[in-house]
Structure 1
């Protein structure tokens, strides 16, 4: 192999090594700045009203109004967050009771570092069909006037802002919410929780 060929090969290898080292450095910086500062979430309170279950037809249908006050916390000391969208749904034993929240307030906001933001999510179900495999469990919980175990799933689009750097993420927040069943038909019940939610990136 000629000297010029070996020189080109060394230059190519050097360029590849430099590129890999640079990428590794960028990944390391990203990990150090952003990964330890994932958002935290907790259910502060929840309200249940207008609950009614009808088995007059198949499948079983449920009507309800649920309002959840969710606290989103930015634990970072240096990174601010833009919340661009908030999409939420309610589930019972994995079955979707509401395809989307009727209202999310605020629906988008800017969150500074080391601060918490309360978000109110409201769900209005009007004769929502419940799959047969979980309808019996739902009826039993409502008739037993016990705790109604719901799952709150929230998808958010966020932008982490560090100086001029902005990185987009789509974390998913999952919360278990057990609300007392109202003692009277069409009644109202309240749950003060504070339970932490699971946040997945």
Structure 2
């Protein structure tokens, strides 16, 4: 009986030690990582050659260059960006396509630092959209301000000493570009001021 009691006490002690250790790890994770989510801002955006045409299908053509500023506010943790999967959408969520170029694609962001990612969306070949989306874009262009949404799914690794934790933050940016007619008959313009983005984990 004494050997059985010792084994039970040993098992209980091991379980208690495991629970305490797991709780400590979770506490450290919360203290280090949770208060220091990345911040994102659209620093600049330039829109050119925006046209809306109705042939057999309603198509939108455009070219949009976006500078996305990413900031790591942490004093202790560096961030590896392994991938940034972006999509441009019209207001309301209709997809206008992904970027034709992204720079840089992968990078290390050091503590308390900011990096700029340039996203280039080229829809000059024409993108099919629902009729109501095309009508809204045409209305906005006539009113002098066109709204877009930039959605970015990021894959990152937080690094603290030898510890690395993977996360997949979702970045969402609402961008409104003031536009005016261009010589080609299309419209274009640039962002007047920076737009803060929302970041969810």
Residue 133 of structure 1 and its aligned partner are, at CA, apart by: 4.5
Which of 114, 118, 121 is matched with 2:119 structurally?
Answer: 121
Match of 2:11? 12
Q: Secondary structure at the match of 2:190?
A: strand
The 4+ residue runs of structure 1 with deviation greater than 4 A are none
User: Unaligned stretches of 5+ in structure 2?
Assistant: none
Q: Is the 8 A contact 2:177 2:190 kept in 1?
A: yes
Further displaced range: 89-98 or 155-164: 155-164
Which of 65, 71, 94 is matched with 2:63 structurally?
Answer: 65
Q: TM-score, normalised by structure 1?
A: 0.91
Which of 151, 169, 178 is matched with 2:167 structurally?
Answer: 169
Aligned length: 197
C-alpha separation in 1, matches of 2:147 and 2:4: 70
1:17-166 aligned at under 5 Å gives the runs 17-58=16-57, 60-92=58-90, 93-98=92-97, 100-125=98-123, 126-142=125-141, 144-166=142-164
Q: Is the 8 A contact 1:145 1:182 kept in 2?
A: no
C-alpha separation in 2, matches of 1:74 and 1:24: 26
Q: TM-score, normalised by structure 2?
A: 0.91
Residue 8 of structure 1 and its aligned partner are, at CA, apart by: 2.3
Match of 2:198? 198
C-alpha separation in 2, matches of 1:154 and 1:81: 16
Q: State the Cα RMSD in Å.
A: 1.5
